[in-house]
């Protein structure tokens, strides 16, 4: 995975070396540029997750890089957090702020507003008659416009549409706009969560780490963990509760 692939020893070493340099060090500017270059794949990966929402990919990449630079300049290894665990929320925060600001500052052209309304109506009518969600080609044929026009209408207005997700998407009201939205890729979220959890897990003792790993990565029951570790199920339960409390505290502190 791209987000994890950048977490190489070299990329991590560049960050640590930069953090160790005093502000006036003659090599600091070059070291900073090298660190930015090494972590660009992470910024681009996060920017791509927000593509297709009405903003040009180049703009999203630029915002993500700004977030990356902010993370590099503010990173403090003495806090005990790996750089990836600090950079990901910083970059995502910049991307979300970008969308929040753009949503309220851009006026959608009337042509796109009318096109969006036509597409919404076509989507509702076709969903009813076809018994399924219509494709771009279905909507284009229904409205007698090109598929490119349909895509433009969807792309150009989607990021600035404040319609409630509870708005009915079909005639009988059985489906809302929220029901038609795709979900986040859990694989990306899980990978990023594991990166962020790394430093917190490292602060647990060896037995706590093993129990957490068996429970949440090995999907074992408390009884099965007890058999492997050689303690009672009740003791496993107490250790799990204690370890999870430590993790929450570490994550909140970060």
Domain termination residue (choose one: 81, 105, 129): 105
Dihedral through CA 163, CA 166, CA 169, CA 170, nearest 10?
-140
Looking at 105, 123, 140, which one is the last position of a domain? Answer: 105
> 116 and 80 share a domain?
no
Residues 154 and 245 in one domain: no
CA distance 69 to 87: 9
Print pLDDT tens along the chain (254 aa).
Answer: 333 344 455 777 888 888 888 878 888 888 888 888 888 888 989 898 888 777 788 888 888 999 999 999 888 888 888 888 888 999 998 898 887 766 544 555 667 767 877 888 888 788 888 888 888 888 889 999 888 788 777 765 554 444 444 555 555 656 655 555 444 444 444 455 455 566 667 778 888 888 877 876 677 788 888 888 889 888 888 888 888 777 777 666 65
Please indicate, yes or no, whether residues 168 and 119 belong to a single structural domain of this protein. yes
d(CA 142, CA 169): 17
Looking at the structure, tell me whether residues 176 and 211 fall in a common domain: no
* CATH of residue 116: 1.10.10.10
pLDDT of residue 91: 92
* 191 falls within a domain: no
Domain of 71, CATH number, reads 1.20.120.1810
Q: What is the pLDDT of residue 159?
A: 43
Query: Are both 156 and 230 inside the same structural domain?
Result: no
Which pLDDT score, from 0 to 100, does residue 235 have?
A: 87
The answer to the question of residue 185 being in a domain is no
Q: Is there a domain that residue 137 lies in?
A: yes
Note down the domain range covering 222: 203-253
Domain-located, residue 70: yes
Q: Which of 69, 87, 105 is the last residue of a domain?
A: 105
What is the SS3 string spanning 14-59?
A: HHHHHHHCCCCCCCHHHHHHHHHHHHHHHHHHHHHCCCCCCCCHHH
The reply to whether 198 falls in a domain is no
What are the CA-CA distances from residue 196 to residues 40, 50, 186, 212, 234 (Å)? 18, 20, 15, 15, 29
pLDDT at position 188: 47
Backbone angles phi, psi at 86, to 5 degrees: -90, -35
Cβ(126)–Cβ(136) under 8 Å?
no
Query: Per the structure, how many domains does the chain have?
Result: 3
Residue 244 lies in a domain: yes
State whether 155 and 86 are in the same domain: no
Start-to-end Cα distance in the chain? 24
**Tokens standing for residue 164:** 């409630």
Residues 104, 48, 9, 22: what is their CA dihedral angle, to the nearest 10 degrees? -30
Predicted local confidence at residue 172, as pLDDT: 60
Q: Select from 190, 187, 168 the least CA-distant residue to 177.
A: 168
Q: What is the pLDDT of residue 9?
A: 59
């Amino acid at each position: 995975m791209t987000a994890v692939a950048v977490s190489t020893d070299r990329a991590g070493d560049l960050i640590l070396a930069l953090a160790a340099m005093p502000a006036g060090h003659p090599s600091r500017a070059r070291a900073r540029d090298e660190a930015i270059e090494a972590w660009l794949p992470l910024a681009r990966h996060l920017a791509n997750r927000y593509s297709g929402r009405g903003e040009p990919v180049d703009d999203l990449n630029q915002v993500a890089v700004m977030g990356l630079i902010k993370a590099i300049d503010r990173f403090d290894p003495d806090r005990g957090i790996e750089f990836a665990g600090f950079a990901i929320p910083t970059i995502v925060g910049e991307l979300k702020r970008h969308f929040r600001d753009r949503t309220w500052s851009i006026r959608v052209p009337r042509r796109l507003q009318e096109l969006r309304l036509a597409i919404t109506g076509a989507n509702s009518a076709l969903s009813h008659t076809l018994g399924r969600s219509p494709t771009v080609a279905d909507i284009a044929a229904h409205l007698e416009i090109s598929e490119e026009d349909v895509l433009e209408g969807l792309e150009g207005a989607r990021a600035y549409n404040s319609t409630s997700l509870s708005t009915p998407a079909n005639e009988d009201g059985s489906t809302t706009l929220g029901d038609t939205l795709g979900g986040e890729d859990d694989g990306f979220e899980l990978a990023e969560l594991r990166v962020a959890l790394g430093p917190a897990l490292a602060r647990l003792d060896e037995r706590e780490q093993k129990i957490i790993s068996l429970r949440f990565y090995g999907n074992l029951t408390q009884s099965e963990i007890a058999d492997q570790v050689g303690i009672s199920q009740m003791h496993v339960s107490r250790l799990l509760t204690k370890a999870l409390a430590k993790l929450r505290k570490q994550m909140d502190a970060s």
